[in-house]
Structure 1
């Protein structure tokens, strides 16, 4: 019986002694999640930005990124980090993007044939936009992006359409970070904040030289299953894209947007023409 008291005392002490280790593990787990959230929300980002977002040293970020890369939750791209295939599948983005790639080309080609200019399908990846698919203008002088190229959400018609329809946390994140004036016409933070509601209400957007000097772009959102899944844009040099062209491009974009939404919701086969 005399040994029962120390034994009982030990049983009470063990959880208390283990508590700091459990707390440490919890903190480590939370830090790892914060690193993953930073990459997921940014779409593509650098270690220094992740460290600032998560509030931890750069050396610690590298340690977590190594583990996340081994699990295919994060991938490295020439010094930057982006969501890996497994994270995209878990979020459902991978399947949606694959579907858009499969279905988007004939509709984009229709837009290019009708407008004579480059047609682009962009999606939001965290706090950036990505060129998922495009058909280029036949003209020698034309606007074009690289497939999978990441673009700022704050510049360009299609990108700002996606920003306006993003969750409030994403909008706050974009507006709260430094913005580079890519051209003299790149909108500033105050301008972006004022126009978010107008873009949502208008259903389309025209930009002039925000991302590329001398370019004009017209964009519309594609809404399916109750949310904006992508933006469709046609863009070309300003001398070819006057008021009449812009009106015609907007009408074509709206018609194609409605058909793409129908395809995504009903699984119908796209018809071009």
Structure 2
């Protein structure tokens, strides 16, 4: 719409904020303040204020001089994506759900939480339903733990220092030193699990989808805690998760 056609209701500040968000795309995932200003035609001062505001709100991530979109921007499109389906990964997720007989989810870190970006419900009448776009605290979920386990050391230190490591059930690990040990173990063995830490009676196992995609993505499955013995997890749950994560990485890069 041409400027002269805009009504009195039009908010120039909102327009400028959306211009900044649109400056990031598949070819420009990381940009400096100067690059964003050049792409939008906005002044450096205005661009800086918008970027820092978006960072404060969690929609933009900053690393040194570089800015990038944060997972939270998916808030704006998840209702639409849920209706369309995430075509690139959903066939693999549905196949894995049928294989293990449980719900399967893909997740990314969003601040101190994990946000679920794709999933398939268990092929059973009773299952735990987690809507796409939903978020959960990272420290109590298997997906969150495998993603935390692969953070750069400085980012993990910052998380453990600032995150709200609260208890959601009597089984939730809230000791930060113990949590660090569990994350170290998860990184070493390549998979994580949690049991009854967010919902009593529910457990989860997660692996990282391999590759250099940004943001890193976890593939996880949720199931009743009594369904698998801990000694069975590697063969019955972790192995199919890893196999399908490899297929997803090769054929359909994660979101």
Task: Tell me the TM-score normalized by structure 1.
Answer: 0.60
CA change 1:173–1:242 in 2 (3 A) is same
Distance 1:105 1:27 in 2: 42
Shift of 1:215: 0.9
Matched, 1:257 2:242: no
Match of 2:31 in 1: none
Q: How many residues align?
A: 193
Q: What does residue 126 of structure 1 align with? A: 111
For the 8 Å contact 2:143–2:192, the answer to whether it is kept is yes
Alignment partner of 1:38 is 2:25: no
> Whose Rg is larger?
1
CA pair 184-36 structure 1, distance change in 2 beyond 3 A: same
Secondary structure at the aligned position of 2:87 is classed as helix
The structure carrying a bigger helix percent of its residues is: 1
Q: CA deviation at 1:85?
A: 7.9
Runs of 4+ off more than 4 Å: 26-34
Give the 3 Å change call, closer, same or farther, for CA 244–154 of structure 1 in structure 2: closer
More moved, 184-193 vs 206-215? 184-193
Q: Partner residue of 2:24?
A: none
Query: 5 Å matches for 1:155-234?
Result: 155-175=140-160, 176-188=162-174, 189-225=176-212, 229-234=216-221
CA drift at 1:42: 9.3
Preserved contact between residue 127 and residue 170 of structure 1 (Cα < 8 Å): no
Structure 2 unaligned runs (5+)?
1-43, 62-68, 78-84
Report the Cα distance in structure 2 between the residues aligned to 1:83 and 1:210, rounded to whole angstroms: 28
C-alpha distance in structure 2 between counterparts of 1:41 and 1:115, whole Å? 35
Distance 2:153 2:226 in 1: 37
TM-score (norm 2): 0.64
C-alpha distance in structure 2 between counterparts of 1:237 and 1:187, whole Å = 19
Residues 96-111 of structure 1: pairs in structure 2 closer than 5 A: 101-111=86-96
Q: Distance in 2 between matches of 1:264 and 1:130?
A: 19
**Cα displacement (A) at 1:261:** 1.3
Q: Residue 240 of structure 1 aligns with which residue? A: 227
Shift of 1:237: 0.9
- Is there any run of 5+ residues in structure 1 with no aligned partner, and where? 1-25, 44-72, 75-81, 89-99, 266-273
